Amino acid sequence: MFPENNYDMDEIVKSLLSTMNAQLPMMYSSMPGIQVVEETDWLGMLSSHPDVFYNAVYDARFSSDNVSKRVDEVISLYSAKGQFPMVWLLTPSCQPENLPEVLRAKGFKHAFKTPGMFLRLEDFNQKIKLNSPHKIIHVSNVEQLSQWIIPGKEGFSISDSVIKAYFDLFKNKGFESRTPWKLFVGMVDGIPTTCVRLFLANGVAGIYHVATIPSARGKGYGTEITIAALEAAKNLDYKLAILASSPAGYNVYYRLGFRDCCFCDAYIGPE
């Protein structure tokens, strides 16, 4: 799929978006409190959780002649569930081109732009320092899962209900290799310090939930646990890694070899 000597950026962007969207039916549809909506022209999820990003449209491909009507219908669905404000993500696959203008006209405001990034794993050779006090564990039992959620909660300020839903999801699905995700937790002096989730779909390795507890930031631990996830993907013979970067993580990922391939805009509303 990916040429040896050059980058087919269209294919890379397509793989990034399909892998990100695959999380909804393959993971979030089994998460307590989440309802995944898959229609022919849009994909999203509604939830009973207070965190706004769990009430979101992830992909919309409306025709230009009915875009306003379809946006109204989607808004009505979220409104009926009492899920306002909501998030509407616009990626390169979203249609039509004037969808941003339609959203703004209906009370959505642009919240942020985030880069989608990629890394060809055959080019990745970085290693964790041998003398690092940061010990990384592949989560394989409930006790380790209990440790994994601690950096996630502290790093992302996730609500208690969402944290419990993640815990229940991963506990109920078990820790066998058949699940499309692998979880890693980093420990320093017995304290859960970092976490990452590797999501494997469509032949692509997605990097998600990279977090470091506030007291341990600036020591390279976030880089190390990302390296561990990338090494695991490479050992499984995956060729491409992708992620959507936060501003705080961008330089970390760039130093690891990730490069921009697209951008995603988040709109929040309606007001």
Residue 30's CATH number: 3.40.630
Same domain, 256 and 134: yes
- Asked whether the predicted pLDDT for residue 132 surpasses 50, the reply is yes
Cβ within 8 Å of residue 95, ≥6 positions away: 60, 61, 62, 63, 64
**Higher confidence at residue 178 or residue 163?**
163
Q: Which pLDDT band, with edges at 50, 70 and 90, does 82 fall under?
A: confident
233 in a structural domain? yes
Same domain, 84 and 129: no
Closest CA to 153 of 233, 145, 141: 145
- Asked whether the predicted pLDDT for residue 6 surpasses 80, the reply is no
Q: Are 222 and 252 in contact (CB under 8 A)?
A: yes
Cβ within 8 Å of residue 270, ≥6 positions away: 75, 84, 85, 106, 107, 108
Same domain, 144 and 250: yes
Least confident range of 14-23, 172-181, 190-199: 172-181
Q: How far apart are CA 33 and CA 56, in angstroms?
A: 14
Q: Which amino acid, 18? A: S
Q: How far apart are CA 6 and CA 123, in angstroms?
A: 12
Same domain, 135 and 209: yes
Same domain, 129 and 187: yes
User: Whats the size of the chain, residue-wise?
Assistant: 271
pLDDT in the model for residue 176: 83
The total number of structural domains that make up the chain = 2
In this prediction, residues 34-58 reach a mean pLDDT of 95
pLDDT in the model for residue 177: 81
Same domain, 218 and 172: yes
- Asked whether the predicted pLDDT for residue 140 surpasses 90, the reply is yes
Task: Compute the radius of gyration of the chain from its Cα atoms.
Answer: 19
Domain extent for 68: 9-115+265-269
**Token pair belonging to 243:** 């992620």
35 in a structural domain? yes
What is the chain's mean pLDDT, rounded?
94
Same domain, 40 and 148: no
pLDDT tens digits for 178-208? 899 999 999 999 999 999 999 999 999 999 9
Q: Residue 199: which CATH number?
A: 3.40.630.30
3 in a structural domain? no
1 in a structural domain? no
Least confident range of 34-43, 76-85, 138-147, 232-241: 76-85
Of all residues in the chain, the percent with pLDDT exceeding 90 is 90
Same domain, 203 and 76: no
Give 29's DSSP letter. G
Q: Is the dihedral of CA 85, 86, 88, 89 positive or negative?
A: positive
Least confident range of 6-10, 158-162, 213-217: 6-10
235 in a structural domain? yes
Same domain, 87 and 175: no
Q: Are 77 and 247 in contact (CB under 8 A)?
A: no
Same domain, 126 and 249: yes
Same domain, 52 and 126: no
**Token pair belonging to 178:** 């058949």
49 in a structural domain? yes
Closest CA to 171 of 130, 143, 202, 195: 143
4 in a structural domain? no
Same domain, 103 and 141: no
The alpha carbon of residue 139 and the mean position of all alpha carbons in its chain are separated, in whole angstroms, by 19
Q: Which pLDDT band, with edges at 50, 70 and 90, does 71 fall under?
A: very high
41 in a structural domain? yes
**Token pair belonging to 15:** 């793989």
- C-alpha atoms less than 13 angstroms from C-alpha of 214 in its C-beta half-sphere: 4
Closest CA to 166 of 30, 51, 43: 30
